[in-house]
Amino acid sequence: MVLFVAIAFFGIAARLVYLQHFRWAHYHVQAETVRRSIRYISPPRGSIYDRAGRPLATDVPTHEVTYSLQGVENARTTTRYVARALSAQGSLPDDRRVGEDYLVHRLHRIRAAVRPQFAVGVTPSAQLWLGGVAAERLAALDAAIAKYPDRFPGVVVSAEHRALFVEPAQIFAGEVGVLRLARLAGVTDLDHYYTEHVWLPYQRARSIENRTARQWAFEEERVLCKDVSFETVVDVSYNPDTYPGLQIRQGRRRTYPEGVVVGQLLGYQGRPTPTHIESWKANHQLLRRSTDLSDIRTFLAIRGGSYFDDAQVGMTGLERRFESHLSGTAGATIHEVDRFQRESGPPLDEAPVVPGRDLTLTLDRDLCVMLQQEFVDREAVAGSILIATPATGEVLGWCSFPGFDPGNWRSQWDVLSQQPGSPMTSRPQRSPIPPGSTFKMLLATAALQEGLLERDETIECTGFYDPNNRNHLRCRNHSRALTDIDLETAIARSCNTFFYVLGGRRLKSSGIDRWGRMFGFGSEPGPGLGRGRPFRITHAESAAIGKGSVVATPLQVLRYVCTIANRGVRPVLHLTRDEAAPGERLEVSPWVWEEVILGMEGTVRFGSASAPGLGLRRFSCALKTGTAVQGNKDIAWLVGFAPVDDPIIAFTIALEEQDLHGGEAAGPYAAAILEWLSEHRQLPLLSQEGNR
Amino acid sequence: MATVGSTRTPSFLTMALLSLLLGIGVLFIHSASTAGDTTFPGYYAKAQLIRIAIGVGIFLVFLRLDYRRLEEWATPLYTIGVTLLIVLLALKVVRTGPSRWFYLPGFALQPAELMKVFSVLLLAKVMKPSGATRHASAQGIAPFLVMGIPVALIVLQPDLGTALVLVPVFFAMYWAAGASTTRILGIMGAMVALLPIAWMGLHPYQKSRLSVFWDPAGADATSGGYQIRQSLIAIGSGGDTGRGLYQGTQNRLNYLPEDHNDFVFAIIGEEWGLLGTLTVVLLFLSLYVSCAGIALRTQEFFGRLVVVGLTTYLAFQTLVNLAMTMGLAPVTGLPLPFVSYGGSSLLTSLVSIAIILGIGLRPVRTVAPDGLQSGTSPILHLGRTRR
């Protein structure tokens, strides 16, 4: 007897030596693997600042509550296991199929019945789930439970009753937690909330599973609540039993402090589209949060330029254009996790995130705010204002009206989609419109440079280009008393006939076309600033006054104005200093520019923007008005630069849906801009007369 | 009779072994039940210490007790035990689910644990040859009945593990009482032959339980239950010297459920390594060898049978628990004596060892002819083994 016991003990000892000495490495690796879990960290996105470092878009760290379907909706996972165990042996005696759907249906009814008890904090007693189950089936289920108790929380087999019971508090623990959280967050329609966040994703996960037999959709980390309060963070972290399956993760929220101001230019972020994901996959850049690596080196090898499939990526505007600059590189920590996948202790290994780089724009935020306010105050329908430094091509002011707030446009979509003037369109880049009479300086420059117009030459204007066809190609821009028009007057008073002659009879389509391209029409005014429509002149007379086949984006017009202000240097417009590039000098004699600019000065002195009420005479500026037809309404243009001799700023104002002509409509805007810049940026824009 | 020494206290070695086992138990219950930053003793270790204190009190009472009084009490104690088991079964009909405990204020009583001791006492009494019938085999069916009733009641609870512990206890005592090896093998053979018939009579649900029971969990760790898998990882990853007390990751991160309870040995393996596990195995072996020594020294029939029975119960339970944590036996819910956390089990183990040591303390004062004459002594087999 002693011998038997001794042999048994020696057997145990031998087994111990085998396990602990010879198989140590094997089990050690298992222990190390099972307890290590990787947690990915999204990199903070770079901020966007204006030229003075005032924020336009920043990332605010927040906390979000995440979950996996498996963790929260384990009632359904459990149901699946139960159904699988029960249906392993054919049909029930009474021929009723024990399908998963039937069990879920029953569970739904139990859930509905016990919900009121959960609401008042009462733990409901065990409920009958399925009765009249064949003994073999129960036995199979019981065996499964004995083997994998973790898969069957709250499932009670009763052989005596030939029935299956559930403990609601255990099987619905996930739902109770989610609903508790929702209640904390002030959600009223809890049913809808649960359906939206858990039940529908669950259905989708099931259909994925049915199609591909893959389980990842159940294990995927999903966001339940974003931007949760500190109290919630504490509550969830310290009471994991109250919130089973829920985890706190650091998240980020993109905020746009100025809201609608330059919103379209900045653009918005969103979840990556299937196109994004396909392209990431193709470039091996995709990371799933469910990817479970236990070694930080592997992660380091793959993380370069990788994206999470639930990352936020720039969808439009600068957020999209500077995506790689702003996005940064993901980090990860390897943590010890306990049996419930909860982190424990400090990280074992860490690959720090590389935050996205900041982006500093050339824009002046306050100026942009002021421009936006002008539109609002004057009750404009739509339009754009652009202001740039002509010498460098830096864009200082940008306003596209109406706009949207990239921070919360989704919640305002109903309003935005009904609003006239297509608020989602960034006009300066994306909406080519006829430049109207602002195009006339181009013809003047071209004609003077090519010798097709003498310096002091006058052209007769009788109000018509062709006296035989008086309904066509008219000029109503100046008094009929004025018939012999020189260039200065033609520009200042915007005489159409003068330019019909220049365009139609002297430069012709090919000349306008060539000079248009020289001034940059039809090409990109700067990196990422939009190409507009192809530039091709088909009808020289209408093109001569900036109508017909001539269309340009406001940015293209701005570059054209800057070129005149620079006396022939065509700048590269840009929004960040990094993109600055030297301009290109046009082959035009200096006197030609002075002739043209003289006409633009005349616009303020005696021409189309000379009305004292506009208040532009105080400033040393060279302007040109324009009015282009757009449907039933007009587009009112006013472009120019200031001061005349050594321009600091150039601007374009394009107001759509106008009844007034260019100078009348846009003049007050220009005056306000010049006023503001003089006052707030101390720019020497006042004329000597104005100074007095 | 002068064959037995007349010391009044148990040997220092035995007491040291016992204390070491209890101490290791408390230490690892603390390690297993705390997050590591809790100061000693913490909730579970404190509870265990209280139980040990109570247990030691009862231990001393039983140590002082003249064991022959137990022979008188055997029948009433057994009756009480069986009654409790029947009451439990009756309650089970009312409630649903397994019922193994009586919930008393501050204490959960597990009658099946106590029944192990009571059964051994009555078995020893009925197997003890009296007068003309010197051989236990001549006792007829009585021992089988004494054994069969509690086994059946415990199986019905259902607590197959505890019930199965009683089977080797019975055979060891039956053999020690003088039954021939042939006879014992015959009975075992008959039981094996009856198994298929019993199997057919079983409820399908019990069949499935049994098939899980015999599932070769140890052969392939991946197909075995979660606990066995985690337990193997814990023991294996301990290596030669272990990860250090409180440093086991399987333990600290809760991968091993019931680690302060049935799987405490796995934690010892993880944190103290091969050195620790072999030490613990050696402690147990030494303790049981010294118990066997007491059996050999005890000339009086009832006392010897009680020592054999209780030692077998403790040793078998130890072996089954160790085998279970190493994946050599199915998960049966049998705790490790003296080491695992648990009231009834600790109490029963301490009472058992107290009775064994108490018997060892008392020189045999019997007069011939009482069946203990040389040549007819039931120590025959044990003596042979010793030689």
pLDDT in tens, B249-297: 777 777 776 667 788 899 999 999 999 999 999 999 999 998 988 888 8
Q: Tell me the shortest Cα–Cα distance from B287 to chain A, in angstroms.
A: 12
Query: Given an 8 Å threshold on Cβ–Cβ distance, is B204 in contact with A15?
Result: no
Is B273 in contact with B241 (CB distance < 8 Å)?
yes
Q: Which residues pair with B120 in a beta bridge?
A: none
User: How confident is residue B386, by pLDDT bands cut at 50, 70 and 90?
Assistant: very low
Residues A505, A498: Cα–Cα separation, whole Å: 11
Looking at the partner chain, which of A5, A9, A143 has a beta carbon nearest the beta carbon of B211? Answer: A143
| Chain B residues in contact with A28 (beta carbon < 8 A) | 236-237, 239
Q: Which residues contact A211 (CB under 8 A, 6 or more apart)?
A: none
- State the amino acid at position B101 in one-letter form: W
Give the Cα-Cα-Cα angle B225, B230, B236 (nearest 5 degrees): 125
Query: Given an 8 Å threshold on Cβ–Cβ distance, is A135 in contact with B205?
Result: yes
Q: Which residues contact A656 (CB under 8 A, 6 or more apart)?
A: A381, A382, A383, A421, A433, A630, A633, A635
CA torsion angle B158 B161 B167 B169 (round to 10): -130
Q: What residue in B sits closest to A157 (Cα-Cα)?
A: B97
Q: Which of A601, A610, A609, A642 is nearest to A627 (CA)?
A: A609
- pLDDT of B98 above 70: no
Q: Which of B136, B137, B133, B141 is nearest to B125 (CA)?
A: B136
Query: Given an 8 Å threshold on Cβ–Cβ distance, is A149 in contact with B204?
Result: no
Mean pLDDT of B24-35: 81
B3 DSSP 8-state letter: S
Over chain A (692 residues), the average pLDDT of each successive run of 10 is 81 90 87 79 89 93 86 78 69 52 82 75 80 78 77 83 85 82 81 82 82 74 83 84 81 88 91 86 78 74 76 89 89 78 76 91 95 93 95 95 89 86 89 93 94 90 84 84 89 92 91 94 92 90 90 95 95 93 93 94 92 90 92 92 94 92 90 95 84 54
Question: Is A288 at the interface with chain B, CB within 8 A?
Answer: no
Question: Is A14 at the interface with chain B, CB within 8 A?
Answer: no
Q: What pLDDT score was predicted for residue A592?
A: 95
Is B114 in contact with B159 (CB distance < 8 Å)?
no
Please state, as a whole number, how many other Cβ atoms lie within 10 Å of the Cβ of residue B40.
12
Query: Given an 8 Å threshold on Cβ–Cβ distance, is A156 in contact with B96?
Result: yes
Q: Quick one: which H or E segment has residue A442?
A: helix A440-449
Query: Given an 8 Å threshold on Cβ–Cβ distance, is A19 in contact with B235?
Result: yes
Looking at the partner chain, which of B233, B234, B289 has a beta carbon nearest the beta carbon of A2? Answer: B289
Tell me the three state secondary structure of residue B376: coil
Residue B19 sits at φ, ψ, to 5 deg, of -65, -40
Q: What pLDDT score was predicted for residue A590?
A: 94
Q: Which residues contact B160 (CB under 8 A, 6 or more apart)?
A: B209, B210, B213, B332
Is A512 in contact with A444 (CB distance < 8 Å)?
no
Q: What pLDDT score was predicted for residue A246?
A: 86
Question: Is A213 at the interface with chain B, CB within 8 A?
Answer: no
- In chain A, which among 124-143 make CB contacts under 8 A with chain B? 135-136, 138-140, 142-143
| Chain A residues in contact with B236 (beta carbon < 8 A) | 19-20, 23-24, 26-28, 30-31
Pick among B202, B253, B322 to test the A interface (most A CBs inside 10 A): B253
Give the Cα-Cα-Cα angle A605, A610, A613 (nearest 5 degrees): 135
CA atoms within 13 A on the CB side of A133: 33
Mean pLDDT of B182-209: 71
Q: Tell me the shortest Cα–Cα distance from A305 to chain B, in angstroms.
A: 34
Q: Which of A556, A517, A692, A514 is nearest to A617 (CA)?
A: A692
Give the Cα-Cα-Cα angle B209, B214, B218 (nearest 5 degrees): 125
B245-to-A662, B19, B42, B311 alpha-carbon distances in Å: 86, 19, 15, 30
Q: What residue in B sits closest to A338 (Cα-Cα)?
A: B253
Number of H helices, E strands in chain A: 29, 24
Query: Given an 8 Å threshold on Cβ–Cβ distance, is B281 in contact with A9?
Result: yes
Residues A601, A495: Cα–Cα separation, whole Å: 15
Token pair of A420 as six digits: 């006239």
| Chain A residues in contact with B233 (beta carbon < 8 A) | 27, 30-31, 34
Query: Given an 8 Å threshold on Cβ–Cβ distance, is B323 in contact with A12?
Result: yes
- In chain A, which among 550-569 make CB contacts under 8 A with chain B? none
Q: What pLDDT score was predicted for residue A492?
A: 93
Residues B286, B278: Cα–Cα separation, whole Å: 12
Q: What residue in A sits closest to B384 (Cα-Cα)?
A: A1
Please state, as a whole number, how many other Cβ atoms lie within 10 Å of the Cβ of residue B247.
13
Q: Tell me the shortest Cα–Cα distance from A227 to chain B, in angstroms.
A: 30
Mean pLDDT of B323-329: 84
Q: Is A255 exposed, middle or buried (0-12, 13-18, 19+ CB in 10 A)?
A: middle
**Mean of the per-residue pLDDT values for chain B?**
77
Is A469 in contact with A497 (CB distance < 8 Å)?
no
Q: What residue in B sits closest to A30 (Cα-Cα)?
A: B233
Residues A211, B237: Cα–Cα separation, whole Å: 40
DSSP A477-531: SS-TT--EE-HHHHHHTT-HHHHHIIIIIIIHHHHHHHHHHHTTTTS-SSTTS--
What's CA B128's distance to the chain center, in Å?
A: 22
Q: Tell me the shortest Cα–Cα distance from B244 to chain A, in angstroms.
A: 14
Token pair of A122 as six digits: 């009462």
Token pair of A7 as six digits: 């042999």
Tell me the three state secondary structure of residue A651: strand
Residues A596, A565: Cα–Cα separation, whole Å: 10
Query: Given an 8 Å threshold on Cβ–Cβ distance, is B255 in contact with A34?
Result: yes
- State the amino acid at position A479 in one-letter form: S
In what side-by-side order are the strands of the sheet with A622-630?
Answer: A395-401, A382-388, A649-658, A633-642, A622-630
pTM (predicted TM-score): 0.66
Residues B333, B261: Cα–Cα separation, whole Å: 9
Residues A25, A23: Cα–Cα separation, whole Å: 6
Query: Given an 8 Å threshold on Cβ–Cβ distance, is B226 in contact with A148?
Result: yes
pLDDT in tens, A198-254: 888 888 887 887 787 676 777 777 888 888 888 888 888 888 777 888 888 888 888
Tell me the three state secondary structure of residue B259: coil
Q: Is A630 exposed, middle or buried (0-12, 13-18, 19+ CB in 10 A)?
A: middle
Q: What residue in A sits closest to B381 (Cα-Cα)?
A: A1
Strands A343-351 and A331-337: antiparallel
Residues A292, A308: Cα–Cα separation, whole Å: 13
Residue B121 sits at φ, ψ, to 5 deg, of -60, -50
Task: Give the whole-number percent of chain B exceeding pLDDT 70.
Answer: 73
Token pair of B196 as six digits: 């298929």
Query: Given an 8 Å threshold on Cβ–Cβ distance, is A143 in contact with B208?
Result: yes
A-B contacts (CB, under 8 Å): 147
pLDDT in tens, B221-241: 333 467 778 888 889 998 888
| Chain A residues in contact with B381 (beta carbon < 8 A) | 1
What's CA A525's distance to the chain center, in Å?
A: 23
A126 DSSP 8-state letter: P
Pick among B95, B233, B282 to test the A interface (most A CBs inside 10 A): B233
| Chain B residues in contact with A8 (beta carbon < 8 A) | 315, 319
Q: What pLDDT score was predicted for residue B298?
A: 82
Q: Tell me the shortest Cα–Cα distance from A179 to chain B, in angstroms.
A: 28
Query: Given an 8 Å threshold on Cβ–Cβ distance, is A148 in contact with B204?
Result: no
Looking at the partner chain, which of A8, A31, A160 has a beta carbon nearest the beta carbon of B233? Answer: A31
Tell me the three state secondary structure of residue B39: coil
Query: Given an 8 Å threshold on Cβ–Cβ distance, is B226 in contact with A150?
Result: yes
Tell me the three state secondary structure of residue A282: helix
Query: Given an 8 Å threshold on Cβ–Cβ distance, is A139 in contact with B292?
Result: no
| Chain B residues in contact with A158 (beta carbon < 8 A) | 96-97
Residue A648: left (phi > 0), alpha (psi -120 to 50), or beta?
A: alpha
Query: Given an 8 Å threshold on Cβ–Cβ distance, is B225 in contact with A35?
Result: no
B272-to-A18, A116, A250, A674 alpha-carbon distances in Å: 16, 51, 38, 83
Residue A48 sits at φ, ψ, to 5 deg, of -115, 125
User: How confident is residue B95, by pLDDT bands cut at 50, 70 and 90?
Assistant: low
| Chain A residues in contact with B173 (beta carbon < 8 A) | none
pLDDT in tens, B171-181: 888 888 877 77
| Chain A residues in contact with B288 (beta carbon < 8 A) | 5
- Beta strands (DSSP E) in B91-219 are 102-104, 107-109
Token pair of B208 as six digits: 């499935």
Q: Which of A564, A584, A561 is nearest to A572 (CA)?
A: A584
DSSP A24-39: HHHHHHHHHHHHEEEE
